[in-house]
Chains A and B, each alone.
Chain A
Amino acid sequence: MKKKTKMGVRASSISVSTTEALLVHLTIGLGLALCFSVAHNVHFISLTSHPSQALGLIWAFQCPTVILLYSRYRKDQERCSYWKAVGRGLLGLPAGAVVNALGAIALGAPVGIQYLPKTINWSLMMSLFTIVPAASVFGSSWTDWQRIFACTKPNDPVDYMICLPAHGVVIGAWFGAWPVPLDWERPWQEWPVCVSYGAIAGYLVSLVASFGFILVRQHVKGD
């Protein structure tokens, strides 16, 4: 009940049907899978062997998909054109990368010239999954940002599509960092390989979760 009234207030956002949400989630998920298969079969690299290139491949491949898809769900559609939203997303990519990189360094990511390309590519990828969708959808609306990232109070399906994957990626990356200090001396323990694996796993799980939430919500609304 409470949520319905809130929905009434936020009339400017467009509603997303279940099938549409499914399509978006599938596109993003399959896009990620495609990235891995291209990396593996065409370029013969993996995240473990060439972390920098593989991460670069992922964000470069996923960037158009994510920005183009999410820009469709921009808020206040009458004042903001589609291409403006795309532009905001593109701007959000480096800005978010800086935020992610700083966060990672505060948490203990190694700093050094040999890690620079890896860190840059990793934070671009993280930015693509966390900040970019929100940048495309919300633009400079501070209250929306605050609602999604600080309060974690998603209201409509678009909010879920932004909020859950972003949190999933961060939490996944956080857990992914735990194997780094272990003395197993495996190549995947290097920064940022297992952190990226964690982030991607978290992302995929939260994609499923966000779709599930949307499904449940639609169901409740339908009742």
Chain B
Amino acid sequence: MGRGIWVHWVMMLLHVVAIVMFTRGFLLTRTELPNYSKCSDVSESPCFFPVNENQDHNKVRNHTDQNQGRCWSKPAIDRLVIIVFDALRFDFVAPSTFFQESKPWMNKLKLIQELAATNASSARIFKAIADPPTTSLQRLKGLTTGGLPTFIDVGNSFGAPAIVEDNLIHQLAQNGKRVVMMGDDTWTQLFPNHFEKSFPYPSFNVRDLDTVDNGCIDHLLPFLQQEDWDVLIAHFLGVDHAGHIFGVDSGQMIDKLEQYNTVLQNVVEALESQSAPGGLHENTLLLVMGDHGQTVNGDHGGGSAEEVETSMFALSFKNPPSPIPAEFDTSSCGLDLDRRNICISSIQQLDFAVTISALLGIPFPFGSIGRVNPQLYALGAGTWNFEDSAGNCQNQPKLDEWMLNYVNVLCINSWQVKRYIDIYSAASVIGFSREDLLHIENIYAKAEERWSHTTKTLLLQKKESCDALLPALKRQIHEYSDFLASVAELARSKWTEFDLKMMGTGLGIMLISIIIHFLAIKKVKEQNGFSFTSPGDSGISFGLIFACFMVVIRACSFLSNSFILEEGKVACFLLATTGFIKMRSSIMKKKMISEAFAFLLLVTICRFTIQVGLSKQVPSSESVNAFPSWMLMMTSVWNFVADILPVLALILLAVLLHKAINRSSSEGIWKYIMLGTNLSYMLIALYWSSESNILNLSWVLKDVGRNCIPRLVYAIGVGQLFLLAINQLFIKQKSIDGSKNLSTKAVAMFSVWSSTVIILLGKQGPFIALAFITGGYCIMRLDNVELDGKDGGGWNLMLDPVPVTQWSLFAVCLFFCTGHWCAFDGLRYGAAFTGFDEFILLPQAILLTMDTYGFSLILPIFGLPFLVACRGQTEKGTQPILVRLSLVYMIYGLIMATSVTATILCVTIHRRHLMVWGLFAPKFVFDVAGLILTDGLVCLASLYYFSRVEDHVLHDPLK
């Protein structure tokens, strides 16, 4: 077995192990549970302790009524206005005296500071700590679910970002609260049918600072005068966009902040004017908050202090009776510019959902792991009428009443978190470790025991033990807080912290696999007498150095996010460079100059196609509207051409394939394969013409045909594969002519896969296929340039790595040419629904993979024999050509593995980078999936191309 087919299997194994290890450490996953909290659930908790049950008779009636109306906690506020300023840095809100030096963007939201300084008990500034990833979508998800969204939330619906987990908005809608939303359209994507009314504005145009904000302002103030809502959400985007485009230290940012100050003034005025008892906003809470911070350059996404520190301002229009006890007060106070005392508390964003739920009296979201924040909760306390219940313990201040309430809420809170943790660890494959669970269990049991034995008894005998009650309550609160804090800590370590050991091991295995790969190539090469240098030359050839240089420089380019963003252009640049080098040598030999030119032309076309593809990444609606009327005339002509051309290209492709297969062999099974492919192509052409309206074919296959034709094409493809497999397994091959046999097999394989890939890619498919064939042909021909001149014997055993490098670069270019890029919005979800209307996981996943990697992995790998077959037409026997093919596969695999290892290395280095979730992680996922697919395909291809010929080799005298 000098051929080393085993290498492919070993490599696949090593790669899979390495990737699984690395992924476990790097891509934090969390399972989304389908459970929802319900009002009635709370009866299962040990807590629902009617606080004022043992009161005088008429009040009991009163309260039982209340208890029926009330859900998990006693509602503290009736209406809530949430104003979200995207990317609101903490220092936009807090007075500049809280920071070491004063910056121009500070102290612009003067109204907030004013209110916080003058009504300390009813207005409060919070420093809100977000959890990474600090991207808007993840943050909104975190804010509403009270959980820690990770990069991959298992169970996430395919493509659509809508939140399926239990969340605040869902609970609001379920419990009859009318929610109105205005601003950023991310909300409507996340919550497609939860809002009573919504006024979404497109958020993708980062250069547009005003559309979303003006839309919000237009709707916000009128709504404040209306009665028909309970919760109002206004999401402003201007600050985020100004940061992205101009940076924080810019005039535009300051303008935006000043504009917001005015908006807030109007809002507060409007609310205040109706906040008298009986007024519209008597029990309204105003929240002004950011979803995440931003760096001075306006970036966000990572976990640096600037990005995670945002702020929240809460304003209640009723004064709470008294400040909460000092133990629970986490605020730090200082003087502001006007020497007024101003206090700033701190809140975890995790706590937002549960605190708001508690304030509004709705069930806490099922997956929330936050704690009801005492300060924010206390702001709602002003709306309770304490007077009537204060009587039962005469010497007790209202404070105790509040604490009683709070302890009850915390009890429900802890019970709900415990329930979530229990169900999560039962349901999730990768749950928490046993020790951690045990630890949490213990803390909870302790707190629970105190509750049911001590505190509950004390509360029941309230009259006798008023003095003992307060310390008991405080202890109880501490214990519950302890429990909730340790759960949050555990969840953070599980969902937001990388496991460096695992990552290091994965990376190490990957590096080892590369070394083994390299050694295996060397061994197989030497065993069979191949060399990278042309005969006569000694030492290392120029080709080898050049190929290594190309691979290494491409691998190094992944170190920078900019190069990953422009990966297609970089690959094209390198491919063009190899083209120039090849052209140089073809001029040197005065041969195949036209092929060299054709190749460069092809690369140039690729380059423009990639640019078009990149511009699609930034969706722009203006370009469509910008066409003047005469252009519309042109478009109708253009449409016609655009309908006809793909069909023509398809016919050309069919003719080419037919010729290719006829040239090598025209008998037996290959004929049937070609027949099937031709049939598929005809079906595809029919499908396209039925979609367009040139031939008025739409009536032919109106409903059935739309799904039938693609499915038929898939079926033909599967049938052809089946035929090939049967042929491979059962039918003896007579031909010993290695190269001819190989090219027939390769053409057959190409034609089998091409039809499916083409129909998935749509009308660009045939062009890309033609480009693929042209490129392959040029690479193959140019490979022969250097060889023909040399004397016969030597070059048979020479292996030039440059064509393989070119082939892999070309495959990368095609990936970008087909309109893909390494991000999840770069997946063409539409392609997965070719031939299917509804979502079925397995076929859709297969189709999406085929669409994504069709021209960048599947066809290039099955097409690699072209590089070998056509060169060896004068060779005798199959042995050298198959060894050559095996070596080529190994080199291809090594090139792929090198670039993926570089990606993994860069992801490790940049794990705290701003763009880690936006750019590096998607790139990592795409590369890793691609590598595993490559390994699998290489193994399949080696089975297909080698296995049957093995028998001949055994009898081959050469061996």
Chain A: residues with CB nearer than 8 A to chain B?
Answer: 103, 105-108, 111, 146, 149-151, 174, 177, 181-183
Contact = CB atoms under 8 A, between A and B. Distances in A.
A108 B569 contact: yes
B604 A105 contact: yes
B562 A182 contact: yes
Interface centre among A150, A151, A181, A183 (most CB of B within 10 A): A181
A36 to B, nearest CB: 28
Contacts of B590: 146
Contact of A106 (B563, B587, B588, B600): B600
Given A103-B580, A108-B573, A150 B562 contact: no
B584 A183 contact: no
Interface string B558-578: 001111011001101100110
A182 B560 contact: yes
B301 interface: no
B588 A107 contact: no
A150 B570 CA distance: 25
A208 B775 CA distance: 40
A181 B576 contact: no
B585 A106 contact: no
B607 interface: yes
Contacts of A105: 604, 607
B298 interface: no
B579 interface: yes
Interface string B10-48: 000000000000000000000000000000000000000
B563 A181 contact: yes
Interface in B905-958: none
Contacts of A107: 572-573, 576-577
A151 B560 contact: no
A183 B588 contact: no
Given A106-B579, A107-B576, A181 B588 contact: no
Contacts of A106: 576, 579-580, 600, 603-604, 607
Nearest to B579: A106
B445 to A, nearest CB: 53
B227 to A, nearest CB: 50
B607 A108 contact: yes
Given A105-B607, A107-B572, A108-B607, 10 more contacts: A106-B604, A107-B577, A108-B573, A111-B608, A150-B588, A181-B566, A181-B570, A182-B562, A183-B561, A183-B565
A181 B579 contact: no
B560 A149 contact: no
B587 A150 contact: yes
A212 B651 CA distance: 59
Interface residues of B, number: 24
Contacts of B585: 150
A146 B588 contact: yes
19 contacts: A105-B607, A106-B576, A106-B579, A106-B580, A106-B603, A106-B607, A107-B572, A107-B577, A150-B584, A150-B585, A150-B588, A151-B588, A174-B577, A181-B565, A181-B570, A182-B560, A182-B562, A182-B563, A183-B562
Interface in B579-598: 579-580, 584-585, 587-588, 590
Q: Is chain B's binding surface mostly helix, strand, loop or mixed? A: helix
Contacts of B577: 107, 174
Interface centre among A107, A150, A151, A182 (most CB of B within 10 A): A107
Nearest to B590: A146
A151 B569 CA distance: 29
Contacts of B561: 183
A106 B610 CA distance: 12
Contacts of A174: 577
Nearest 8 CB-CB pairings of A with B: A150-B588, A181-B566, A150-B587, A183-B562, A106-B604, A182-B562, A107-B576, A181-B562
A150 B604 CA distance: 22
Contacts of A103: 580
Nearest to B553: A178
Contacts of B576: 106-108
Contacts of A146: 587-588, 590
Nearest to B556: A178
B813 to A, nearest CB: 11
Nearest to B588: A150
A163 to B, nearest CB: 13
B600 A181 contact: no
Given A106-B579, A181-B562, A149 B584 contact: yes
A41 B570 CA distance: 37
A105 to B, nearest CB: 6
Nearest to B561: A183
Nearest to B569: A108
Contacts of A108: 569, 572-573, 576, 607
Nearest to B607: A108
Contacts of B573: 107-108, 177
A147 to B, nearest CB: 9
A150 B785 CA distance: 13
Contacts of B572: 107-108
Interface centre among A106, A111, A177, A181 (most CB of B within 10 A): A106
A177 to B, nearest CB: 7
Contacts of B570: 181
A183 B918 CA distance: 15
Contacts of A182: 560, 562-563
A103 B577 CA distance: 10
B245 to A, nearest CB: 11
A102 to B, nearest CB: 8
Contacts of B579: 106
Nearest to B608: A111
A157 B201 CA distance: 69
B299 to A, nearest CB: 10
Nearest to A153: B588
A111 B587 CA distance: 28
Contacts of B604: 105-106
A9 to B, nearest CB: 20
A121 B584 CA distance: 25
A108 B607 CA distance: 7
Nearest to A105: B604
A103 B570 CA distance: 15
A174 B569 CA distance: 14
Contacts of A177: 573
A182 B603 CA distance: 22
Interface in B603-624: 603-604, 607-608
A164 B560 CA distance: 32
A108 B605 CA distance: 10
A131 B437 CA distance: 74
A149 B584 CA distance: 8
Contacts of A150: 584-585, 587-588
Contact of A181 (B569, B587, B607): B569
A159 to B, nearest CB: 16
A174 to B, nearest CB: 7
Contacts of B603: 106
Contacts of B587: 146, 149-150
A118 B307 CA distance: 40
A213 to B, nearest CB: 19
A105 B590 CA distance: 24
Contacts of B600: 106
A74 B121 CA distance: 93
Contacts of A151: 588
A177 B566 CA distance: 13
Nearest to B586: A150
A105 B603 CA distance: 10
A146 B586 CA distance: 11
A151 B587 CA distance: 9
